[in-house]
Amino acid sequence: MSSSHASSRQRAPLTGRRILVVEDEYFLADDIGHALRKLGAEVAGPVGDIEDAMAMLQGAGVLDGAVLDVNIRTELIFPVARELRARGVPFVFTTGYDRFSIAPEFHDVPLWEKPIDVAAMARTLAGLIGDRRA
């Protein structure tokens, strides 16, 4: 990798990556999308309900990562998380609740409690994705 390509990857580590955002709070979804785009990502969504999220998984093409709100309109996001995990797609959770709201099978997933530091969350996701397709 050339040094100019490497330095541009450091500035925009999600360049060429497609990230699904599932968040039912409009302003937070917008902030997350902005932070991800700033790191070079293409944002899939955001979507605000489980049904639309599952539809995105079926028809969105390649996804490189995801940001998932744990509680979407009173439904838990775990079916979407299970599908992403089965596909080997890294993701992070956001929630207004604490870690006790997370199913034990997902205790290894980074959790960002609201109000979240959106930029730091986006950088964490970028780190999880790393150079998986490089």
Position 6, amino acid: A
**pLDDT cut 90: percent of the chain above it:** 75
44 membership: H or E segment, kind and range = strand 42-47
Q: Residue 59 contacts by C-beta under 8 Å, 6 or more apart in sequence?
A: none
User: Within the chain, where are the H helices?
Assistant: 3-11, 26-38, 50-59, 78-87, 118-129
* pLDDT one-digit tens code per residue, 58-72: 885 789 999 999 999
Sequence length of the chain is 134
**Model pTM score:** 0.89
Confidence of residue 6 (pLDDT cuts 50, 70, 90): very low
Q: What are phi and psi of 19, to 5 degrees?
A: -120, 125
